[in-house]
Amino acid sequence: MSKDIKIGVSIYSFTYFYDLKLMDLEDLLRTAHEMGYEGVEIVVAQMAPEYPNISDEWIAHFKELLDKYELHLVSWSAYIDMGLHPDRDLTDEEICEHTRRDLILAKKAGADLVRTQHAIKPKNFRAMLPFCKQLDMKLCIEMHAPHHPDVPVWKEYLEIMAEPESEGYLGVVPDFSIFQYAPHKQMIENYLRDGFREDKLNAVIELNKERLSAEEIIATDDFTDYEKNVIVDIVGHFQSPAKLEDLKKLIPYSPYIHGKFHFLDENCHNPCIPYEEIIPMVKELGFKGYIASEYEGWDEAAMEQLKRYVTLLNRLLED
Amino acid sequence: MFFSAFAQWDIHMVVDAPIQNTQVEGISYGYEFKLHYPTYRGTYLSCIEELYFEVDGERVPDGMVEFHLNGKQFLLSELPGLFAEYWHITDDAVIRVVDYKGLEKGSVHSVKAHMQHRIPYTGYEGDYGVEISECTKELMVE
């Protein structure tokens, strides 16, 4: 087992149980511990009841629970809620104010990392550096599908992260969704439920892998309007995933990784994100930190799926 | 939205709980039911762009609706300005309808909620993701 890489879980993965009040925060943390996870990420806009005006009392309560279940707080996950006001976007100053608040709250809660979103904008991201240094906190932007390192704004972000003074403070949280090359099982089930004919959908998924354009795929058969819309969606989302080699551009600035997934089969294999290729590359590149599973199924299968994720990562991390 | 995954939360928006008749200082003035915010995280009330209700197929006049959350009573017309009121996903809002007659105990009513809400972290320069959530439930008066 690689000692440099630890396995965490974003407790967002338990959304189904939390949202429907089947489990509370303590239940989720106890379950994460019992499944073998060592660290957790919290999406505070989801699970901090006083958000965004979070009290010291709630943070003390949260820290007690983390201690009780021997969990490290890997990431305090924040939002840039640009559309908060009905008539305008957040200003640059407001973006910085919101980010400062999250950095302070995260520090109090015992995290050393705030995950933010690419809406922060390059100039605001750079402007947070002195405060990150002052608090000894990392501020990391999540790179989520359909982004990859060659997206123009990401080129700017990566340049900022590469500046010597940014080291250890400004970084990236790659989300493995960037490598997803086909619709996941739940999407396929939804397409079929809504009328996409199964034989035609299977053909479309294969043609997408062969990188035919949406127009070219549509021209191969007689599709309904719904099926044509789905084809455009599939090509738009899954035809240009990040390349494995892109990890070389990301891992040097990554203290933390999101292990996004929607489905692992009985053999703990993900049919549309190539974990068996990604994890060895992550190891080879010398990543040190947590990979946190992020199950995005929003259903009760989360329990079994999150256990399978531990099995998958333990297997792939074995020396 | 056509491919929105958020839509799966819509069925939970009108909460499966009995309708209650409501009083102020012992005087009946309407009835109430509960509303759940239908995505995976909470939102600011300022992100609600449209919210209306139908009971037994008839639109409830917006001016007869009170929105109760965080221990406070809001008018529907106040929601767009409430950028500092957060609706947590485990805090159900209470919707009170001013109706002097109230509803008969034990009777069952169809309650429909319609909400258009902005997802504040999607899109830029005013081009935000906007969801339209609808939910109808048959609820009994307790």
- pLDDT averages per 10-residue partition of chain B, 142 residues: 70 97 92 97 98 98 97 97 97 96 94 97 76 97 96
Place of tokens 């015992």: A110
Q: Residue A17: its pLDDT value, please?
A: 97
**DSSP tag of A260:** E
CA distances, A84 to each of A87, B47, B88 (Å): 9, 6, 15
Shortest CA gap A1–chain B (Å): 34
- Interchain proximity A83–B88, CB inside 8 Å: no
A–B: how many Cβ contacts below 8 A?
71
In sequence order, what are the residues at sequence separation of 6 or more whose Cβ sits closer than 8 angstroms to the Cβ of residue B135? Answer: B10, B11, B12, B13, B14, B38, B112, B113
Shortest CA gap B73–chain A (Å): 18
Shortest CA gap A208–chain B (Å): 18
- Nearest CA to B139 out of B56, B68, B63 is that of B56
- Residues of A8-24 as b/e, b for ≥16 C-beta within 10 angstroms? bbbbbbbbbbbbeeebe
d(CA A93, CA A203): 50
Q: Is A156 exposed, middle or buried (0-12, 13-18, 19+ CB in 10 A)?
A: middle
- Interchain proximity B86–A85, CB inside 8 Å: no
pLDDT per residue as tens, chain A (319 positions): 557 999 999 999 999 999 999 999 999 999 999 999 999 999 999 999 999 999 999 999 999 999 999 999 999 999 999 999 999 999 999 999 999 999 999 999 999 999 999 999 999 999 999 999 999 999 999 999 889 999 999 999 999 999 999 999 999 999 999 999 999 998 999 999 999 999 999 999 999 999 999 999 999 999 999 999 999 999 998 998 999 999 999 999 999 999 999 999 999 999 999 999 999 999 999 999 999 999 999 999 999 999 999 999 999 998 6
- Interchain proximity A83–B41, CB inside 8 Å: no
**DSSP tag of A316:** H
Contact assessment for residue B66 and residue B95, using Cβ atoms and an 8 Å cutoff? yes
- Nearest CA to A130 out of A103, A98, A106 is that of A103
Shortest CA gap B114–chain A (Å): 19
B126 at interface of A, judged by CB pairs closer than 8 A: yes
d(CA A100, CA A122): 16
Q: Residue B79: its pLDDT value, please?
A: 98
The residue type found at A210 is E
Q: Residue B102: its pLDDT value, please?
A: 86
Q: Is B125 strand, coil or helix? A: coil
Q: How many Å separate Cα A159 from the centre of its chain? A: 22
C-alpha count within 13 angstroms, C-beta hemisphere, residue A244: 13
Name the residue in chain B with its Cα closest to that of A230.
Answer: B3
B120 at interface of A, judged by CB pairs closer than 8 A: yes
Would you list the DSSP string of A291-315?
EEEEE---STTHHHHHHHHHHHHHH
Which long-range contacts link A67-72 to residues 24+ away (Cβ below 8 Å)?
A68/A29, A69/A29, A69/A30, A69/A32, A69/A33, A70/A33, A70/A38, A71/A29, A71/A32, A71/A33, A71/A37, A71/A38, A71/A39, A71/A40, A72/A6, A72/A8, A72/A38, A72/A39, A72/A40, A72/A290
pTM above 0.90, yes or no: yes
Contact assessment for residue A7 and residue A315, using Cβ atoms and an 8 Å cutoff? no
Q: Is A258 exposed, middle or buried (0-12, 13-18, 19+ CB in 10 A)?
A: buried
Residues of A near B (CB-CB distance < 8 A)?
Answer: 12, 15, 18-21, 43, 45-46, 49, 51-52, 79-86, 88-89, 117, 119, 229, 233, 298
Q: Residue B101: its pLDDT value, please?
A: 82
d(CA A240, CA A209): 10
Beta bridge partners of A141: A116, A172
User: How many residues can be counted in chain B?
Assistant: 142
The token duo for B139 is 């609820």
- Interchain proximity A51–B12, CB inside 8 Å: no
Q: Residue B2: its pLDDT value, please?
A: 40
Residue to substitute from A26, A54, A82, A90, interface B, most B β-carbons within 10 A: A82
Contact assessment for residue A190 and residue B4, using Cβ atoms and an 8 Å cutoff? no
B71 at interface of A, judged by CB pairs closer than 8 A: no
Alpha helices in chain A (DSSP H): 15-19, 25-35, 44-47, 56-68, 92-109, 122-127, 129-135, 152-162, 185-193, 198-209, 214-218, 225-238, 247-250, 275-284, 302-317
Q: Residue B1: its pLDDT value, please?
A: 32
Q: Residue B68: its pLDDT value, please?
A: 98
Q: What is the ipTM of this complex?
A: 0.93
